[in-house]
Structure formats: structure tokens, C-alpha cells
Amino acid sequence: MVEGPMTQGAGRGSDVWHGAGVTGSGLVSSGAMGPGAAGDAEPRPEGYTPTQRDLPVIGAAPTAPTPTLVDTPSPVADGEQGPLYVVGDVHGYLDELRTALLNQGLIDTEDHWIAGNARLWFLGDFTDRGPDGIGVIDLVMQLSAEAAAAGGYCKALMGNHELLLIGAKRFGDTPVGSGAGTASFQAAWLLNGGQRSDMERLQEHHVQWMSRLDAMALADDHLLVHSDTTAYLEYGGTITDVNDAVTEALTHHDADETWDLFRKFTKRFAFRDDAGAMAARELLDTYGGRRVVHGHSPIPYLLGEVGSEDGEDDAPQVHGPHVYADSLAVAMDGGVTMAGKLLVSRLPLPA
């Protein structure tokens, strides 16, 4: 990271654009791209095998896109709900995602849903930094349809990197008001792990699917969000209000409005410091639930074990979700981009 390790108080401060990169937000700046960033020639983590680039895009035909739970409600057999699972940030690491889902008994070796009426939530950030973000999106879309047909569901939340990719696709180099100079989505996307191969394979049905993702959800007393920030409070006092406000903003196709969403949902560390429990409680009191479950901030970064979310020190030891803020918050980003771990966990967590 340029300008030393990043900190951001309680996650309420503004993200700042310096030159070509965003700092104070967890997104890397110029000269500090993480593993897998465009043009990065550094080796992948040991043992990692990138997936094929010429894989067919599921639902590529514009007349028949792959159905998802946005389009198809999930039937629940006999009113019973299956176990609940959550997935942390994937960031294009498709092989690691397949392995993690297979290990939890959610998919078979052919990547098909075998978990019946189980419920699966992805916490966002499917692309960037890793080699196959579009492959990740295609798999999530496929599992959404298969889980619904089996009486369960597979759903996903909007992450800040979904907003970044949507902005790069829609607005490219169009200048946006970053608050500290002129920036563009294209520049921010490339400097924060954007993969040109993802952009080449990105199709309109992918963009439409991402743009309709919810920002937050409540499942079994767990408030699910992507970012460890209280910025959600700026968009409404109920989960429905927040989700509607974010979806509505993206329908405007306005670069500055989309940038403002991206900037706010890139904030982090709201639950980490002395006032963290109070911030978590504020979200829970407003939207419901007993625990906030989030991705966004890699656990080694959250704990200060590395200087940034793209830390290249010795591989961090991540064994599972991190419970903190007086047990009111659960961090689910295991730091797969820094050779950590892609987490798929059943909720509630064991006591």
C-alpha cells in the first residue's frame, strides 16, 4: 500500500481518491495492486491452478439467460427450511470456491447442487484479483436455479466490487467526482484487481443480475451484509428500504450516483475498535437480527496481521470466521486473495 498501512477509524470516514487509486477504503492504490491484478506478472499462490478462460458462459443467449432467484421464487417443501450457509468473498477464485462448496456437501464433483432444501448466501465480491470472476458468477447463477428447483435457495448480496465492475462496464473512463479529484470507474477497477479477461466475457445478463442483487438480508437472526460499515443506514430504516434504494439508484445509469454507492460500500472497520459493538448494535437495532455477518475486510487485515487486504507477507493462518465486537459481528472474508482461505460456513456458528 502506498502511504503506509490504511486505517479508517470506525468505518464512517470518507474514502479518498489519490491520483489513480482509492485509499482509506481498503482498495489498493497505484503501484500496490494485489495478486491477479491486470498486468500483474507475479506468481499465483502455490498450488493454485487457474480455470480455463474459454469456458462457455452459462445463459449467454440474450433470449434465454440462466434463471436466478431474482426471477424464480424458491419453493420450500412442507414449509421446512434447511440449514443455512454463508460464503465470504470469492474474488475470482473459482477452483477454491468449488472445493469449499464440495467440502460442505453443497455441490457434487460436477458442480451441481446436491443440498436439497439448504439455504446458501454469498456475501458479495465475486470478481477482481482472482483469475475467473465470470466463472464464479456463472456458477452462482446456476446454483441459484438448481437450489430453487430442489426446494432450497442460493442467493447473493451486492458487494463493492460488483458496483465497481458495473461502473467500469457502463461508464468506462467517464470522469466521476471522487471528492478529492477526478477519477473514473475504469481506472479504479484496473487498479483494484480488475481482470481484462473478465471484462471480455462479461455480458449484459451478468450486469443485469448483479444490478438487482440485494444489499442486505436477514436470515435466522443473522443480519447479512457485504461491508463492515454503517453506511447502510444512509439508505433507509428497513431492509426493504435499503435494497429498494440501491436497486433504484442503479436503474438511473448515472456515473456519479453509482460512484457514491461504490464509495460508501467500500468503507470498512465499523465494528473493529472500541465503538465497534455500539456500531454493530445500531445496525441490529435498526434492521433486526442478533449478529451482523459480513465479508469485505479480510480477517488478517481486520486483525492487523497484514498491512492491506492484498498483503503479500507469509500466508496468514485463517481457520474459520472471526467473531468480534462483543460477539455481535462475524467476519467471513478469509483472505483468499492473500493465500488465506475461502470460507463457507454453516450458521449459527458453534458456541
Query: Residue written as cell 440501491?
Result: 246
pLDDT tens, position by position, 129-155: 999 999 999 999 999 999 999 999 999
Give the per-residue pLDDT at 306. 78
Three cell numbers, residue 279: 456500531
Three cell numbers, residue 318: 485463517
C-alpha distances out from residue 282 to 120, 240, 300, Å: 26, 17, 25
Nearest to 285 by CA among 333, 230, 248, 335: 230
Lowest-pLDDT choice from 2-6, 58-62, 308-312: 2-6
E strand residue ranges, 80-228: 84-87, 119-122, 153-156, 175-177, 182-184, 216-219, 222-225
- Identify whether the C-beta of residue 90 lies closer than 8 Å to the C-beta of residue 129: no
How buried is residue 274: exposed, middle or buried, by Cβ count under 10 Å (0-12/13-18/19+)?
exposed
246 vs 179, higher pLDDT: 246
Give the per-residue pLDDT at 314. 64
Three cell numbers, residue 95: 477452483
- Cα–Cα distance for residue pair 88/153, rounded to 1 Å: 17
- Cα–Cα distance for residue pair 245/247, rounded to 1 Å: 6
What is the pTM assigned to this prediction? 0.79
